[in-house]
Structure 1
Amino acid sequence: MAALCNRVRSGIALSNKLGFLTSHRSSTLVAPLASRNYSTHVPGQKDTKIMVPLAMFGGSGNYASALYIAAVKAKAVEKVDSELHQFVEAVKNSSLVSQFVKDISVAKDVRVKAIEEISREAKFAEVTKNFLVVVAENGRLKNIDTIAKRFGELAMAYKGEVKATVTTVFPLPPEEEKALKETVQEIIGSGAKVSLEQKIDPSILGGLVLEFSQKVFDMSIRTRAQQMERILREPINISNI
């Protein structure tokens, strides 16, 4: 266990030094989306500025961030998170719904009517229903799985939790998983609770890839081999020898 913790700490330091660390940048397109009709603004009531707790990226990040702002105002973050994932599971479990979601040739009014009916039958919160309608209007239902994952990350941050994902070739033994979780907890501090998810990917060859707080610490053998290959391919400058 101690060896794993030391490997993670030294690996993070080495990742920073050699440039293996990737940090996702936030997008600047949240405001236009947040102003759409799935917000819960009450006429005559002063708007409270809502800060998105994590930097989101890409189109899916924009939608997730905008939904987060609306859900916080509606005091329904956990409910929206649950309903969004419920919708995603329904899409995965039904070939008919999945085909409908992916078919961009379906007319906008048909998409919207179907989403409104699904939301009504599922008794989704108003903010969830209105958001799905906007996504349907914009032809982005095909991205709903990614949007739901991004929103889930924001919902965890809202509850004071940080999701960490570790990718390895083989599953970590319980004691090493516990040690890694404690190490990540030390790194992020006591202000948040760590939730650790394991993923298996034989293609990394060995080592591990650790992701949390929108950062990726790649300590895999595959990445180190690629880095070494790039170094060896660089031309040697005789004057510097």
Structure 2
Amino acid sequence: MSDIRVASRYAKSLLDLAIEKGTLEQVRQDMLLLDKTVQQNRDYQLMLKNPIIKHDKKLAILKAIFDGKVSPMTSLFLEIVTKKHREAVLESMPKEFENQYNLKMNIQRATITTAVPLDAAQREEFNRLVAARTGKTIQLEEKIDPSLIGGFVLTIGDKQVDDSIKSSLQRLRNKFNDNSYISKL
């Protein structure tokens, strides 16, 4: 079974347990910390996947890093994952937890890429439009790409709306390069 599938199952179990115990938001913050640690530390990633390092040593490292920084439930969860020899899934599990959390809380992630930063009114308008289209609470991530020149690229799940000047110019260029278009003139 792939690590992503295993991570998804562990994440779902942790989410269900956190809801049952009433500690969902605390566990989510713990998962965000775990994800941040994974993303910022290549040695940590390699340690989790290294089959030469014994599981008890990995558990000691995890405890040294996270004891006192995460809830007792998350700490126990890390211990269980380690005892089951599944430390490698700890790299992808926080993202899977976030996906499960978003599903449970009816949150839709969207990414808006613009040439310049959005102001508050534009941000609110995008949130309103995407919420109206999806019927979900929106978690909007903003990216800046000056090469767009103007306009925006909005990505919601696997759908993308590209209304950038860069793409409009590319479409126009393609039309002029298309011989059949020139012959129609």
TM (normalized to structure 1)?
A: 0.55
The question of whether the paired residues in 2 share the 8 Å contact of 1:168 and 1:202 is answered with: yes
Whose helix fraction is larger, Structure 1's or Structure 2's? 2
Query: Is residue 2:122 matched to residue 1:170?
Result: no
Q: Could you say which structure has the greater relative contact order, defined with CA pairs below 8 angstroms and 6 or more residues apart?
A: 1
The question of whether the paired residues in 2 share the 8 Å contact of 1:204 and 1:221 is answered with: yes
* Aligned match of 1:82: 29
Compute the displacement of 1:102 (Å).
4.1
Compute the displacement of 1:108 (Å).
0.7
Query: Is residue 2:81 matched to residue 1:119?
Result: no
The question of whether the paired residues in 2 share the 8 Å contact of 1:167 and 1:209 is answered with: yes
1:134 to 86, 94, 117: 86
Compute the displacement of 1:156 (Å).
2.2
The question of whether the paired residues in 2 share the 8 Å contact of 1:165 and 1:210 is answered with: yes
Q: Secondary structure at the match of 1:170?
A: coil
Compute the displacement of 1:171 (Å).
1.1
* Aligned match of 2:160: 216
Judging changes above 3 Å, is the alpha-carbon distance between structure 1 residues 107 and 175 closer, same or farther for their aligned structure 2 residues? Answer: closer
Distance 1:188 1:147 in 2: 26
The question of whether the paired residues in 1 share the 8 Å contact of 2:8 and 2:93 is answered with: no
> Could you list the runs of 5+ residues in structure 2 that have no partner in the other structure?
68-73
The question of whether the paired residues in 2 share the 8 Å contact of 1:80 and 1:128 is answered with: no
Query: Is residue 2:146 matched to residue 1:199?
Result: no
Moved over 4 A (4+): 76-80, 128-133, 237-241
Distance 2:130 2:101 in 1: 19
Distance 2:167 2:7 in 1: 30
Compute the displacement of 1:231 (Å).
4.1
Distance 1:169 1:111 in 2: 48
Query: Is residue 2:129 matched to residue 1:183?
Result: yes
* Aligned match of 2:169: 225
Query: Is residue 2:57 matched to residue 1:110?
Result: no
Q: Deviations over 1:120-173 (max 9, x none)?
A: 34243444454575252xxx77xx3x6634542331222222222211111111
Distance 2:178 2:47 in 1: 47
Distance 1:125 1:79 in 2: 12
Distance 1:205 1:67 in 2: 43
Count of matched residue positions in the alignment of Structure 1 and Structure 2: 172
Judging changes above 3 Å, is the alpha-carbon distance between structure 1 residues 92 and 238 closer, same or farther for their aligned structure 2 residues? Answer: closer
Q: Taking every aligned residue pair, what percent have the same amino acid on both sides?
A: 21
TM (normalized to structure 2)?
A: 0.68
Q: Secondary structure at the match of 1:65?
A: helix
Distance 2:175 2:97 in 1: 39
